[in-house]
Amino acid sequence: MIDIVSVGNDLGLFDTDTARAKNILSVQRGSLEYDPEMGIDLKYFLSPDFTFQNESFKAYLIRVLAGYSINVASVVETVESLSQHYAFNITPTESDDGLIAR
C-alpha cells in the first residue's frame, strides 16, 4: 500500500508496506505493552537450547509477514563478514475493491 503524504508544500508517496515490514521484523515479540503479539520471537531462535537453521528462520520471518498481510515476493541473501543478511522484496497488496494499491 502506498500512501500520499505531505512533504513540505508538495505531495509525496510513502510505501507503507515496506515500513510495516520493517517495524514487524525489528520488534521483539512481547516487548510492546499495547500489542504484545506484534513482532518476531528472535530470542527463541537465539536461545542456547535451539539449533539455529537459516532456512527455518527465513521461513518463520516470511510466515510472520504473511500473517500481517505483507506479500513477500523474494528474499535475497547476502553474506558479509561471516554474517548473513536477508533483503525482503515485497509486492503490493490488493485492495478489497479488486484494484491493486500503488
User: Do residues 17 and 93 lie in contact, with contact meaning Cβ atoms separated by under 8 Å?
Assistant: yes
For residue 22, the model assigns a pLDDT of: 87
User: Do residues 88 and 65 lie in contact, with contact meaning Cβ atoms separated by under 8 Å?
Assistant: yes
The cell for 28 is 521483539
For residue 102, the model assigns a pLDDT of: 47
Condensed to tens digits (0 to 9), the pLDDT of residues 3-17 reads 555 566 766 655 678
Condensed to tens digits (0 to 9), the pLDDT of residues 45-62 reads 888 888 878 888 899 999
End-to-end CA distance of the chain: 6
Q: How many CA atoms lie within 13 A of 25 on its CB side?
A: 21
* For residue 1, pLDDT beyond 80: no
